[in-house]
Structure 1
């Protein structure tokens, strides 16, 4: 499964917010056997979002989008995705009722919250999704995410994004498997081994620098578990290996 991840937000590009969503999603999807082929961060630019989603939805098996969802003026993700897929935004009655019910419960539980703050929240805007979309509603946030064709739209707030992904994670799967070999050998000394394993096996090998425990990583990836295991064993026979500390 070839997957692309698109994170949206001016605050991400300005460095005011750390983009943990992309790395979390990439790890989760990779663990399920999917292959991440693109990760891109773009601003809250309606035309750019629409163009990117339109192009990627045709190029990849799945496109994961995270960004501002909801009924405030700066939440442009859903309307931009809808434009990219040539869909109208429509109010989904069931979603609207769910949002209203959440509001009623919050008002009962925390009446002082409504007394202290003058809330400006467009219910219809928050309950609007691209026509034909499958809603993703969770208890973690107010506004829903959704699935349209092969495009998955999640909230930008990490806790809400994770809750949304967990409702559809079984839809991300593939045959990609990997195994990691840890070695204290400096990266520059591994060229012969890396070239050799590439010639011997149908796998790809990524070499990553030494971490705090002075161990580098050779990550062997392929579509066949037996081939990956054989390639990792071949590497271990030719390089000094080690075991990472629990903190790593």
Structure 2
């Protein structure tokens, strides 16, 4: 299962916010057996989002989009996804009712905050999803995420992202498996072994340099668990490990 990740936000491109969502999603999807083959960050621009979603929808088995789904003027991700599919945004009655009840509960629990700030929530914006999509709702997130065909739209706030991802995690089961070998050897000493293992076992083999406080890594990846295991064993017999 080939998956593309699309992270949305001007703050990501400016470097004001670290893009931890892409790293976290990559780990989750890889552990599930899917293969992440693209990661793209785009600005809060509806047409740019629409273009990226349309292209990735055609090219990959699934697209995960994160960020910009709230109800403020710069939250245009769901509008961009709708545009990519040639659909309009709609406000399902049950989703709006859910968010209205949530807003009422928040106001009841936080009267001082409500009194202090003029909180004018556009519930229609928070509840909107592309026509024909499936809404995604969690206790952690106020805004509704959604699924449109094979495009999954999630929040940008990390805690909310993780909670909503849990509701759709089963969609990304795959047959990709990986074994990791830790080694103190420099990458230059591994080139021959990496090349031979790729050719001999028909698997993907990557090498990653050591850092000051951690050893280097060699990863063996493939869709045949036996071939991955054989390649990893072959490498362990030939390179120094820790």
TM bracket, shorter-chain basis: over 0.9
- Match for residue 38 of structure 2? 38
Q: After superposition, give the CA deviation of every residue in 1:220-245 in whole Å (9 maximum; x if it has no partner).
A: 00001111000000001111111xxx
Q: After superposition, give the CA deviation of every residue in 1:103-133 in whole Å (9 maximum; x if it has no partner).
A: 1111211111110110121111211110011
Distance 1:66 1:56 in 2: 14
- Match for residue 140 of structure 2? 140
**Gaps in structure 2 of 5+ consecutive residues:** none
- Match for residue 106 of structure 1? 106
- Match for residue 222 of structure 2? 222
Task: State the 1:206 CA deviation.
Answer: 0.7
Distance 1:139 1:212 in 2: 41
Task: State the 1:198 CA deviation.
Answer: 1.5
How does 1:121-132 map onto structure 2 within 5 Å?
121-132=121-132
How does 1:141-180 map onto structure 2 within 5 Å?
141-180=141-180
Distance 1:97 1:23 in 2: 34
- Match for residue 231 of structure 1? 231
- Match for residue 201 of structure 1? 201
SS state at 2:112 partner: helix
Task: State the 1:214 CA deviation.
Answer: 4.8
Distance 1:52 1:7 in 2: 11
SS state at 1:175 partner: coil
- Match for residue 60 of structure 2? 60
Seen in structure 2, the aligned counterparts of structure 1 residues 214 and 137 have a Cα distance that, compared at 3 Å, is closer
- Match for residue 71 of structure 1? 71
**Gaps in structure 1 of 5+ consecutive residues:** 243-248
Distance 2:60 2:183 in 1: 35
Distance 1:110 1:199 in 2: 62
Give the TM-score, by structure 1 length: 0.95
- Match for residue 11 of structure 1? 11
* Corresponding pairs, count: 242
SS state at 1:17 partner: coil
Distance 2:213 2:110 in 1: 49
- Match for residue 86 of structure 2? 86
Task: State the 1:213 CA deviation.
Answer: 3.9
SS state at 1:146 partner: strand
Q: After superposition, give the CA deviation of every residue in 1:146-179 in whole Å (9 maximum; x if it has no partner).
A: 0000000001111111111000101111110000
Q: After superposition, give the CA deviation of every residue in 1:199-227 in whole Å (9 maximum; x if it has no partner).
A: 21010111000134452100000001111
Distance 2:59 2:113 in 1: 46
Distance 2:159 2:209 in 1: 31
Q: After superposition, give the CA deviation of every residue in 1:61-102 in whole Å (9 maximum; x if it has no partner).
A: 000001111221111100011001111101110010011101
